[in-house]
Amino acid sequence: MTALNRRDLGLLALRVGTGAVLAAHGTQKLLGWFGGGGIEGTTQAMEAMGYSPGRVSAIAAGLGETGGGVLLALGLATPAAGAAAAGAMAGAVAVHAPSGFFAMEGGFEYPAFLGFTAAAIGIAGAGRLSLDHATGHVLDRPWVVATAFIGTALAVAAVVGRRAEAIATPEPAPSADAARSVPEEPEPEHTSGRETED
């Protein structure tokens, strides 16, 4: 077996494995498969994590993982697929970062690994055993690589930055008018210790 064939087989195995894992996570978010929460559950989770609007964030994350994963496995539009999946994982890294690196402590180890792997495939290309190769690499040009990764980096910076600002901003205290609008509970009536006789 030539070195080129080994490289293509290795890329195929890496693409299919990484793509399948990403797609599985994405379908949990989008469709509720594999015990996932679906769009509604993911929307609530996104809002709890500080991503707003929650539904848009849920759809974007689900599409990034599902679409990116499927395209990586097929080796089609590999730069865009790798960038989209890496972007979705960057959002997850931002959530887990306060817990440190290791996954056993709730850290960002796992999404970081998936994100770096997806990005590496997107940059390296899918190899000859791919739809990109079969279609003459029309969606795998150098300008596609640059556009996909720069665009994704800018989008991730904006979304993660907005989340950080939202988390850092404390909830506004209720105004005096709002406090006055709350009805006061009536004070209990006090009776003397002696009861009147008939």
SS3 46: helix
Q: How many residues does the chain have?
A: 198
Amino acid at 110: Y
Residue with tokens 């009805």: 183
pLDDT in tens, 82-122: 999 999 999 999 999 999 999 999 999 999 999 999 999 99
pLDDT in tens, 119-175: 999 999 999 999 999 999 999 999 999 999 999 999 999 999 999 998 887 666 555
pTM comes to 0.82
d(CA 170, CA 31): 34
d(CA 119, CA 134): 21
d(CA 159, CA 25): 20
